[in-house]
Structure 1
């Protein structure tokens, strides 16, 4: 199997398991704590953060972005070529959709159920800008300073926290956003709300890209060595 095929498989599987964790834990939380939204969100955020730590730890030696915004920033930083970036992004979107279908079926729901959960308004869009910008800074700030071995804990911890400090509960990922439109559950988002979330996520990624170029103009030798090994 080629290196690109291995990376595509890793992004597909990783994003599928990530979305299954987000949606599945949301369903479980809403069933276990039906009258306590705060507790349900806590359960959802812990499960998501823990899943991210595990998935990044396992798949990072191959590919572990699981997020089109992160992959686009990699492309604009010159880490990936356009063909590789396009293949990884396609895998992320397809994996996310499969993850939602799997979560729905695991809990006895229809494989696809369009969400009626409207999430809209300037406050939520700003929340997505902040959430995505922070995520991208965490990813590349960790990598470009040669501390790639810490990225799993850094990203998982950030996302678990961002569930709470952002108004949008930190989707921060276009593939996850699309995937969550096909589950009418605690984690769902109405299709009409998704485009504005994606635009906000791209804006957050753009802001983070600018900050990364300003704050990390050079890459630590350890990070360069790791990058050559993976890519």
Structure 2
């Protein structure tokens, strides 16, 4: 598979993911009548379904990372060429921003926005570290052919058991900065989230490594 096709798949997949997350958040907020729990539930269900489909569609082409933290870990493990890491991350960030703009266009909102939704504090950062560590652990330990369902189910659960509603993805944090909507995050809050996500990714990889049996000498 050529690198160009992989990059196109990563860009489209990340665009689709952010469009689902932000678009469903806008729709949920409009229809929930001020009930934040109902809005979050609707946002969760749409994200779970969209993420499953996107991984199934683009996974055979690019691995369906849609997430710089995942790409970095896969490169560290030798499952992604190190020369491809920067291009992967760049198209993921671009796709995330375009996904936010596409969601705005569909709902006839101003395309260019910056979120004013502050998200921060130790609890939020710990939540993002936990969410991302769990995501990487699920990805790395998932049985063959079952990653799409397990990842989607995990993210759906993590929307509710983490204080941050589980971004678990630096590209998602980046893209959500450009939407002053239900799913947005203020630019001032994004660096803390991204740092926690990268730490969490390293933790998830470390836990997976500890759970992997050592190869028997001579085998």
- With normalisation by structure 1, the TM-score equals 0.90
1:57 equivalenced with 2:60 (yes/no)? no
User: Which residue of structure 2 aligns with residue 17 of structure 1?
Assistant: 16
| Post-superposition offset of 1:49 | 0.7
Gaps of 5+ in 2: none
Report matched runs for 1:185-224 at 5 Å: 185-217=181-213
- In the TM superposition, structure 1's runs of 4+ consecutive aligned residues that sit over 3 Å from their partners are none
| Post-superposition offset of 1:218 | 6.2
1:162 equivalenced with 2:145 (yes/no)? no
CA–CA distance in 2 between the matches of 1:40 and 1:158? Answer: 19
Gaps of 5+ in 1: 220-231
User: Which residue of structure 2 aligns with residue 227 of structure 1?
Assistant: none
- With normalisation by structure 2, the TM-score equals 0.95
Q: Could you give the per-residue CA deviations for residues 149-191 of structure 1, whole angstroms, max 9, x where no partner exists? A: 1111101111111000000000000001010001100000000
1:180 equivalenced with 2:179 (yes/no)? no
Q: Could you give the per-residue CA deviations for residues 90-114 of structure 1, whole angstroms, max 9, x where no partner exists? A: 1111100100000011111111211
| Post-superposition offset of 1:25 | 0.1
Report matched runs for 1:1-231 at 5 Å: 3-63=2-62, 64-142=64-142, 147-217=143-213
| Post-superposition offset of 1:86 | 1.4
Structural RMSD (CA): 1.2
Count of residues paired in the alignment: 214
CA–CA distance in 2 between the matches of 1:186 and 1:98? Answer: 17
CA–CA distance in 1 between the matches of 2:13 and 2:84? Answer: 17
| Post-superposition offset of 1:217 | 4.9
CA–CA distance in 2 between the matches of 1:170 and 1:30? Answer: 18
CA–CA distance in 2 between the matches of 1:187 and 1:159? Answer: 15
**Range 178-187 or range 77-86, more displaced:** 77-86
Structure 1's 218 and 175: CA in aligned 2 closer, same or farther, altered over 3 A? farther
CA–CA distance in 1 between the matches of 2:214 and 2:29? Answer: 45
Q: Secondary structure at the match of 1:115?
A: coil
| Post-superposition offset of 1:83 | 1.1
CA–CA distance in 1 between the matches of 2:201 and 2:145? Answer: 23
CA–CA distance in 1 between the matches of 2:167 and 2:147? Answer: 19
CA–CA distance in 2 between the matches of 1:140 and 1:87? Answer: 22
